[in-house]
Amino acid sequence: MNVKSVIVGALLVIVGVVLGYVISSQSCCPLKKGGMPCPPPMGQFDGPHDHNFDKHKGGMQLFSPEFLDEIKATDEQKKQITEILDKKREEMKAHREQMKAERDKVHAQIMQVLNDEQKAVVEQRMKDRSCKKDSTRNCKKVQ
């Protein structure tokens, strides 16, 4: 084997690696027009807002009746687990209500600072957000 063919082979390998890197970085760049978003690292999307979320994967949902049957929990164990979860759900509900009251208090303080025109814009934005979150509401956009 001569030196010239070894150098040409090495250059082709280097060009291939560089070209592969450029193509892959261009195809998953969300900043460029038409680029695809880069795939996430494995295990990044485990939360409830992801399409890969398994119904019984998160927190309190882990101990669903189906899962308890799967692990062959006794009736007494199921009863105790259900009591624990029900108690915690009540605590969490109270906490959510407390946080909502705090949020409403902050919003009221902010609204006192705004003028009438700004208040109208804020109220419309809040109405639009609540309509997006709850599709069961009969909301009509006013233009």
Higher pLDDT, 1 or 33: 1
For the residues 40-68, what does the mean pLDDT come to?
Answer: 60
Q: Is the dihedral of CA 102, 103, 104, 110 positive or negative?
A: positive
pTM attached to this predicted model: 0.42
The per-residue pLDDT of the chain, averaged, comes to: 76
Higher pLDDT, 97 or 1: 97
The lowest-confidence range among 2-11, 80-89, 95-104 is 2-11
Angle, CA 87 vertex, CA 81 and CA 91 arms, to 5°: 140
Q: How many Cα atoms occupy the beta-carbon half-sphere of 20 within 13 Å?
A: 6
Instruction: Give residues with Cβ within 8 angstroms of 78, minimum separation 6.
Output: 65, 68
Instruction: Quote the pLDDT of residue 30.
Output: 54
